[in-house]
Amino acid sequence: MTKFIAGLVVVASMSVPLRAELKYTMHMEIKKSAAPAPPMNPMIGIMGDAVMKQMVPEGTADLVYLVGDKGARVEYLQAAMGLPAGTISLITLDGTIVILNPKEKTYWKTTTAETLDKMKAAGVPVPEIAVKRTGQIETVAGAKCEVVTFDWKMALPIPEGARASLPPDFPSTIAMTGDSCATTDAYKQYADVINKGANVMMTAMGFDKIAQGGIALRQTLSMSGFEMRTTVTQFGEEAAPEHAFEIPADYKEVPMPSGAGK
């Protein structure tokens, strides 16, 4: 599960030239589900609790995305997806991922290929996902989007050698359900970058099918008695600061932290 969670912070390469930058703020919130949870294996509940707490330790978090023809930048205003508050991710066009630590003035690097290889080596399987378009149109942060519903299921990546030592009732899969509202053609050039680039891990886990080729402006995900809501609160095109996609000159490169991206 550590490998699965750590992978959620990973981002990847982009190749679509854009004429402007898209900036948006995504608000994340996790809480106990208001609806009664269906009967479940207690271990699933424990794992769900661990995943949700790792995703948003403080219960809420805001991420600021900036996407343009120089790459993408994601700023974590609070701790989220395994990264501490204040972290800035830079994604370059050649697939290099740079994680900046403004507090320490340090950074570390990895690549898309390296991250996906580690996922494969960890035995992370391809999930099963069913998506249904509803035709329902909503407006979120001034942008129109179409609602889809989804069911997601994935076999747990349990090493073969460990299976014999697990209890007979140990769960073999993890499942989620929810709905999402994604943009359509209006922001396709940015959506291609987000879904095939900045969210490569989410794409590897099948969530690109939920986005339907657009940008998810609102999403509700339910798992093991927990509910995670993400909502874009500010959305629009604007000019990026001159050095927004660059590593500051006074930052020092350090090795990748133990456990990151593994």
- Give the rounded distance of the alpha carbon of 238 from its chain centre: 23
Task: Give dist(CA 256, CA 143) in Å, integer.
Answer: 38
Strands 128-140 and 21-32 come out as: unpaired
Contact 200, 116 (CB under 8 A): yes
Residue 38 pLDDT grade (very low, low, confident, very high; cuts 50, 70, 90)? low
- For residue 71, the cross-strand partners are 68
Beta bridge partners of 97: 91, 110
| 261 CB burial (10 A radius; 0-12, 13-18, 19+) | buried
Q: Residue 250 corresponds to which tokens in the numbers above?
A: 């006074």
> Which are the contacts of 22, defined by CB distance < 8 A and separation ≥ 6?
65, 66, 67, 68, 187, 190, 235, 236, 237
Kindly report, residue by residue over 96-119, the tens digit of the pLDDT. Answer: 889 999 999 999 998 877 777 777
CB 87 within 8 Å of CB 100:
yes
**Which of 38-47, 140-149, 161-170, 214-223 has the weakest average pLDDT?**
38-47
User: Rounded mean pLDDT of the chain?
Assistant: 80
Say if residues 153 and 127 touch (Cβ distance below 8 Å): yes
Cα–Cα nearest to 207, from 250, 161, 148, 247: 148
Higher pLDDT residue, 156 or 215?
A: 215
Percent of the chain as helix, strand, coil, to the nearest 5: 20, 40, 40
Tell me which range, 4-8, 201-205, 227-231, is most confidently predicted by mean pLDDT: 227-231
**Which of the pair, 128 or 159, is modelled with greater confidence?**
128
Per-residue confidence (pLDDT) for residue 132, from 0 to 100 = 94
Out of 3-7, 42-46, 91-95, which region has the weakest mean confidence (pLDDT)?
A: 3-7
Dihedral of alpha carbons 155, 159, 164, 170, sign = negative
What stretches of the chain show up as alpha helix (H) in DSSP? 2-7, 42-55, 112-121, 160-163, 188-193, 200-204, 208-211
- Name the DSSP class of 82: T
Query: What does the alpha-carbon distance between residue 237 and residue 222 come to, in Å, rounded to a whole number?
Result: 31
pLDDT-derived band at 145 (thresholds 50, 70, 90) equals: very high
